[in-house]
Amino acid sequence: MNNPIFTGQLVRLIAMNLEEDLKLFEEWNVDSEYQRLLDAGAANRYNLKLTKEFFEKEIEGMHAFMIQKLDDDRKIGMIDLGGFNWQVGSAWVGIGIGVRELWGKGYGTDAMRIILRYGFTTLNLNRIQLDVFSINQRGISSYEKAGFKYEGRLNGNLLKAGVRYDEVFMGILRREWEQLQTATVN
């Protein structure tokens, strides 16, 4: 738990505790905007038992973490790497800050920087990618701050309340991440 690789400036990443954390997921999912920004599917309320069964089945193939604030140890969100392609060394990252009042305060960016470090220095990945909806400008800015580059968009893939939003794709290569570390040190 004290491995410095999982600790950033504002948060640390810790392994999930299914009993505790799925209850937090349930609390966060009450906020439908949180769900709508997180996923292209329809926002929904999920049965706790079925969610637990899903995680028990899938967690071995995921690298899922809770995001915990350093100052008060509060768990405020989750982040995970999944969809690994070991032939090219790539993975998808997904992140959500469930506590609305903490949006836009740098916690997500810090968590993303930690998971990039983990992905490139521990998992030996060559690229990490994500998708985000064009309505989520706060998320896009955060990913840019962490070093992600724009790689394109699928037109109008998200339909909410009769309005279409683009699905934006971003990615970062290991050499780009390494350059950022050098730039930060110098």
Partner 1 sequence: MTFTTQLFQSENLVLEAYDPEKDAASEAAFSYDPNYAAVIDGEGVPHPLTVFEVKKKREEELKKGGEKDNFFLFALRRKSDGLFLGILTFPHVFWFNRYAFFKMTIGEAETRLAYFTEALQMGLRYGLEELGLYSMYTSTGEYEPEVKQGLEAAGFHEAVRQRENVYRDGKLWDRVFMEILQDEWKTRNAQVQS
Name the residues that contact partner 1, by CB under 8 A.
40-42, 83, 85-88, 90, 126-127, 129, 151-159, 164, 169, 171, 173
Smallest separation, CB 172 to partner 1 (Å) = 9
Smallest separation, CB 22 to partner 1 (Å) = 24
Polymer length of the chain: 186
Query: Residue 133 and residue 75: Cα distance in Å, rounded?
Result: 25
SS3 96: strand
Nearest to 164 by CA among 156, 175, 173: 156
Smallest separation, CB 20 to partner 1 (Å) = 31
Q: Are 76 and 69 in contact (CB under 8 A)?
A: yes
- Kindly tell me which of 12 and 36 has the beta carbon lying closer to partner 1: 36
Smallest separation, CB 82 to partner 1 (Å) = 11
Query: Residue 36 and residue 28: Cα distance in Å, rounded?
Result: 12
- Kindly tell me which of 36 and 113 has the beta carbon lying closer to partner 1: 36
- Kindly tell me which of 1 and 163 has the beta carbon lying closer to partner 1: 163
Q: What are phi and psi of 126, to 5 degrees?
A: -105, -25
